[in-house]
């Protein structure tokens, strides 16, 4: 198990960036913006295409994002089901859980307010954002292109943002806050070490979400582990 993650450390770091883009906005939806009628409850489905080196193994990855004004959830299914992740955050009570299924080995990481604050601080890295005049429609929403430069990335990420889904409380505690973007990412392209990853939303559902989606109880069969243990396996999955 350890060797597999060591080999795929760079690939996991790229996937981490994808999760960061998703969650920076989502966990900041504590209130509706009074000036803009923002979407503050939704279920968004993303699919990934990837090529080059180890990235090919990630092609076909799916992600689902669920959010309400007080809760967030991200489901990720990678490598044809060999790796699964379920991250849930209760922003009102400042806690979260990360459920991992790593080739059948089920692990859970519990996160309290201190953990969320540390993750928030860690992910607020200096960025450069350049907005272009390119637009395209994604999952029914008009999106503007932005080129986002992050420390440690070879090339800027090409991100497409919609202003119809707008974070209103960016300063709130969050697990993976990424600041500097005017809008919500529905698509992004990342090039790193010869690998190219494209993630794009395929559907946005605005139906009211059932509370059970954000159940904070740990399912049976999961063994507790610490964030540090996961980092030692070659990648932090966004933590």
Q: How far apart are CA 217 and CA 205, in angstroms?
A: 25
Q: What are the start-end ranges of the H helices in the chain?
A: 2-7, 9-26, 113-123, 227-231
Q: Which residues contact 210 (CB under 8 A, 6 or more apart)?
A: none
Average pLDDT over residues 76-96: 87
For the chain, give every domain's residue range: 2-231
Measured between alpha carbons, how far is residue 228 from residues 131, 148, 179, 213 in Å?
36, 28, 25, 27
Q: How far apart are CA 143 and CA 209, in angstroms?
A: 25
Cβ 150 vs Cβ 21: under 8 Å:
no
Give 180's pLDDT tier (boundaries 50, 70, 90): low
**What pLDDT does 138 receive?**
97
Q: pLDDT digit string (tens) for 122-152?
A: 554 546 889 999 999 999 999 999 998 877 7
Does the 2-231 domain belong in CATH 3.30.1490.20? no
Q: Which tokens in the block code for residue 94? A: 């400042």
Averaged pLDDT score across all residues of the chain:
76
CA-closest candidate to residue 2, choices 79, 105, 77: 105
Q: How far apart are CA 89 and CA 164, in angstroms?
A: 23
Q: What are phi and psi of 199, to 5 degrees?
A: -120, 130
């Amino acid at each position: 198990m350890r060797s597999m993650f060591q080999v795929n450390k760079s690939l996991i770091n790229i996937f981490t960036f994808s999760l960061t883009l998703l969650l920076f906005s989502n966990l900041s939806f504590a209130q509706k913006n009074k000036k803009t009628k923002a979407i503050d409850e939704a279920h968004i489905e993303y699919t990934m295409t990837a090529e080059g080196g180890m990235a090919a193994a990630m092609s076909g990855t799916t992600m689902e994002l669920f959010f309400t004004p007080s809760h967030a959830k991200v489901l990720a299914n990678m490598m044809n089901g060999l790796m699964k992740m379920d991250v849930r955050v209760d922003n009102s009570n400042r806690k979260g859980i990360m459920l991992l299924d790593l080739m059948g080995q089920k692990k859970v990481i519990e996160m309290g307010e201190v953990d969320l604050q540390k993750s928030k601080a860690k992910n607020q890295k200096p960025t450069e954002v350049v907005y272009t005049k390119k637009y395209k429609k994604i999952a029914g929403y008009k999106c503007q292109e932005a080129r986002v430069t992050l420390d440690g990335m070879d090339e800027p990420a090409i991100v497409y943002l919609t202003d119809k889904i707008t974070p209103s409380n960016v300063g709130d505690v969050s697990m993976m806050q990424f600041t500097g973007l005017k809008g919500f990412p529905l698509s992004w392209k990342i090039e790193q070490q010869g690998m190219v990853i494209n993630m794009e939303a395929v559907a946005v559902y605005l139906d009211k979400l059932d509370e059970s989606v954000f159940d904070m109880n740990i399912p049976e069969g999961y063994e507790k582990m610490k964030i540090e243990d996961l980092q030692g396996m070659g990648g932090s999955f966004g933590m």
